[in-house]
A and B are shown apart, each in its own frame.
Chain A
Amino acid sequence: MVTPNEEIEVDREKGNFRFQEEHKYDAGVGLTEKTIDYICDVKGEPDWIRDFRKRALKVFESKPMPTNWATKDLDNIDFDVIRYYLAGDNRAKKSWDDVPDDVKETFERLGIPENERKFLAGVEAQFDSEAAYSNIKESVGKQGVIFMGSTEGLMKHPELFKKWFGKVIPTGDNKFSALNSACFSGGSFIYVPPGVKVSHPLQAYFRINAENFGQFERTLIIADEGSEVTYMEGCTAPKFDTATLHSAVVELVAMPGAKIEYVTVQNWASNVYNLVTKRAIAHEGATVKWIDCNIGSRLTMKYPGVVLKGKEARGEVLSIALANDGQHQDTGAKMIHAADNTTSNIISKSISVGEGRSTYRGQVHMPKNLKGCKNNTECDALLINENSRTDTYPAITVRGNKNAVQHEASVSKVSAEQIFYMQQRGLSEGEAMSLSVNGFVNDLTRQFPMEYSVELKRLIELEMEGSVG
């Protein structure tokens, strides 16, 4: 469990390692109906899921790559060489003693000091496809909160699960949501009963830990009426030579008056395709806030969204993307206003370094039958050296005149002269760049949970040190 002044020290650079992999279950390469049968058999899943997966596979196969609007780099993904399911042991661990030694060693390598091990009780870490460790369940369980892996969730709580699973993000939403629907494993299922305020953020750490192995977590969070929950996910990935695919689907449901905050800080190796679909439904008076920080990866495509379904619902996306040499961050936000007096706020900051590329895609939709809706969108881009590039594609559809939209965009540069000025004061080139970058994101990170803004700052420093030739 994490409280603001007891931060977990995770040095992300240390994610750059890998143990010998031993998998009890391995679905082999490629994705066919057979792969799906294998996954379902190993996991002992009910038939409705098997059918769901197989239908999704057809949708996945029938959908073209979205290269008509997105980067052609997507065509370099070879789906036939990817392993869609690997698992060492698919039962979630209950206590620290049950955690295999090599997993413990990994935590050690992640830099979590011995005396902070107890915090791991609040960490649901995904090793390969399955949750290898979890125990916070028990403590939040006393409040009636359900916190478990998605597979366990769909088997133990089918009535809750089925009601919302695939409803926020339908299988056919896009090619990658279909892919995830076909072969998902891992991820979290959370249900917070009415009025319950979960005092500690629920945490998950994900890593990719096998070559050519895609990770397809599926997370579903339901916050019932008037409840509150914060979920945090962090990623470190070891660096591989071959491309790796990560394609998650995250669905959030905020019932009337509920509050969900979903925080992500991701630091992917620069060969990872990170193609994620994240969306929330906010019912009357509910608030959903996505905090999304993307560092690294070869290509990230991610546009967290909120469907503002009930009156006075509020949606927010605060995002930071850092694209270094050879990386492309294609990120943004979607706000779909579907009721009166709904408000949305988007603040996006992107940093492009060297040959890095950042793209912002935003969509704000307000139909004309609505009134009293408000959106504020702010996109700021920082370019470090002239090779980097940034594009913004804000799509704001506002009909009628009873709604208010405000849009601001800025592009600023850290010039060679500014770097020289800082170097003249004794800062190395890397320190100078990270100081500028941290300065650029500062007003936003102040709104993040403390341990995450500290960690983000450290990540930016590492990334900037690494970007100096």
Chain B
Amino acid sequence: MSNTLEIKNLNVSIGDKQILKDFSLTVPKGEVHAIMGPNGTGKSTLAKAMAGHPDYEVTSGEVIIDGENIMELEADERSREGLFLAFQYPMEIPGVTIANFIRAALNARLPDDEELNAPDYYKALYAKMDMLKIDRKFTSRSVNDGFSGGEKKRCEILQMAMLEPKYAVLDETDSGLDIDALKIVAEGVNSMRGENLGALVITHYQRLLDYIVPDVVHVMYDGRIVKSGPKELALELESKGYEWVKELAGEVAAS
């Protein structure tokens, strides 16, 4: 199907340990899906395996963007195909300024003989920074280097806003954000919502979902989705915890 992000029967291992077990999920463009699940369930593994991290061995399965299977592509090619990952733990890149980094990423999307127009680029960059209430001085700071936890997360969303992906996976973008920052980031994400973006939001807390209201909520346990439902499912999880999910997991695994 075109205009969807399809994850089909994905099996992923790290070393000898299988983390994702026949994981399947479909996110149509224009929708926001949330994934919730206890620590160590494989949420970040899913995100990184989709993005093509070399440590994660995909033993079988497909990830299909708008009809094209991207599993044979390098990580950078997947990015240029329109897949964006906001990392749970963004890396620090000393010496490389935010402005240069994002410019290089945008240039990588242009044909060899084309270069970004510098004034237009800065105009766009400043507009997005203003939207996310990031001080313009940050353009000359090294990517994530010495940033506070919240600043790192905002910087991830800034990159997303500049790169305009077709599909984005946000891995615990809310962690480390104070209440005000959470609202700002959520507003940023909401402003990108629309028919050109499909998003998968990984979170532990309802709080984020109050601001970024999901179309569907999935509950993940032990490497697979065990329950999917409307946004109210998140509230149910919050009140009941994950104990009841374990039982569900047993049923799903047995079926």
Contacts and interface: CB of A to CB of B under 8 A. Distances in A.
Given A420-B54, A435-B101, A435-B104, A425 B79 contact: yes
B100 interface: yes
A420 B102 CA distance: 15
A416 B52 CA distance: 13
A426 B51 CA distance: 11
B203 interface: no
Which has the most chain B C-beta neighbours within 10 Å: A426, A428, A443?
A426
Nearest to B55: A416
A424 B95 contact: no
Contacts of B92: 418
B95 A439 contact: yes
A424 B94 contact: no
Contact of A427 (B51, B54, B85, B105): B105
B173 to A, nearest CB: 15
A143 interface: no
B87 A421 contact: yes
A424 B96 contact: no
B163 A421 contact: no
B108 A426 contact: yes
B94 A427 contact: no
A442 interface: yes
A429 interface: yes
Interface in A97-156: none
Contacts of A424: 51-52, 75-76, 79, 84-85, 87
Contacts, number: 81
B45 interface: no
Given A424-B51, A426-B105, A435-B104, A418 B93 contact: yes
Q: Which of A416, A423, A429, A442 lies at the interface centre, i.e. has the most chain B CB atoms within 10 A of its CB? A: A423
A424 B87 CA distance: 10
Contacts of B11: none
Interface string B72-92: 001110011000110100111
Contacts of A422: 93, 101
Interface string B134-175: 000000001000000000000000010001000000000000
A363 interface: no
Interface hub of B74, B75, B90, B94 (most chain A Cβ within 10 A) = B75
Interface residues of A, number: 24
Contacts of A423: 52, 74-76, 79
Nearest to A442: B95
Contacts of B51: 420, 424
A312 interface: no
A432 B142 CA distance: 14
Contacts of A420: 51, 53-54, 75, 91
A234 B85 CA distance: 42
Contacts of B95: 436, 438-440, 442-443
Nearest to A429: B76
B93 A421 contact: yes
Nearest to A414: B93
Contact of B96 (A417, A428, A435): A435
B85 A426 contact: no
Given A420-B53, A420-B54, A421-B91, A426 B96 contact: no
B21 interface: no
Contacts of B142: 439
A463 interface: no
Interface string B44-58: 000000011111000
B210 to A, nearest CB: 28
Given A420-B53, A420-B54, A428 B93 contact: no
A440 B75 CA distance: 24
A420 B47 CA distance: 13
Q: Which of A415, A422, A438 has the most CB atoms of chain B within a 10 A radius of its CB? A: A422
A436 B93 contact: yes
A381 B50 CA distance: 33
B244 to A, nearest CB: 35
A431 interface: yes
B104 A431 contact: yes
A439 B80 contact: no
B128 interface: no
Interface in B77-132: 79-80, 84-85, 87, 90-97, 100-102, 104-105, 108-109
A432 B104 CA distance: 9
A421 B76 contact: no
B89 to A, nearest CB: 9
A412 interface: yes
Interface in B59-78: 74-76
B108 A428 contact: yes
A412 B142 CA distance: 15
Given A423-B79, A426-B109, A429-B76, A439 B94 contact: yes
Nearest to A415: B91
Interface in A175-233: none
A426 B163 contact: yes
Given A424-B84, A427-B104, 9 more contacts: A416-B54, A418-B91, A418-B93, A421-B87, A421-B90, A425-B108, A429-B76, A435-B104, A439-B96
19 contacts: A416-B55, A421-B90, A423-B75, A423-B79, A424-B79, A424-B84, A424-B85, A424-B87, A425-B76, A425-B105, A426-B80, A427-B105, A429-B74, A431-B104, A435-B93, A435-B100, A436-B96, A439-B97, A439-B100
